[in-house]
Amino acid sequence: MGEDPNREGLLETPKRVVKAFKEYFKGYKEDPNQVLDKTFGDVEGYDDMVVQKNISIQSHCEHHMAPIIGKAHVAYIPKKRVVGLSKLARVVEVFSKRLQTQERLTMQIANTLMESLDAKGVAVTIDSTHQCMTMRGIKKEQATTVTNYYLGQFKEDLSYQNRYLRFISIAKE
């Protein structure tokens, strides 16, 4: 880069970078299925969708190691048991803290929720900005990427997809 590595401001930079990378990529040491181990059956037969929206995402693209910043929206339809609400965001966090493509990230979250929760259906949407497009290359600062992945009833029944999409588009007041 042309910098002097012995300059005062850079002397501790290698240590700081290592510490930052451990935080950025801590998802490799976490098991998303373990996050979903504890479920609750005392929900009096609740069997409609549970939607959690606006879960912040900070990840890194595997092609440039540049940040991906955005929001995830997650829904599932329980069979007999539900999971604590924070666990949905934790699963998003585990997979986000790895080198990613947004497409794979969306599918990993959905597949894990479907399998671990034995859900009737799962929907995941991610809307994010890729810094590899905003800060370099094509430099389109306003461009966002949206990915969706549907499983079970969300894939088979468009009425579930439509309800889910309406729920996640409702503006916060």
Residues 6+ apart with CB under 8 A from 120: 47, 76, 77, 78, 79, 152, 153
Confidence of residue 42 (pLDDT cuts 50, 70, 90): confident
| Predicted TM-score of the model (pTM) | 0.94
Is 102 catalytic? The answer is yes
Catalytic residue among 30, 52, 58, 64: 64
Is 73 catalytic? The answer is no
Instruction: Summarize pLDDT for 54-69 with one digit per residue, the tens.
Output: 999 999 999 999 999 9
Which domains are delineated in the chain? Answer: 10-169 (3.30.1130.10)
Mean pLDDT of the chain: 95
Confidence of residue 158 (pLDDT cuts 50, 70, 90): very high
Is the pLDDT confidence value at 108 over 60?
yes
Is 63 catalytic? The answer is yes
Confidence of residue 171 (pLDDT cuts 50, 70, 90): low
Is 61 catalytic? The answer is yes
Average pLDDT over residues 49-58: 97
Both structure tokens of 37: 């181990």
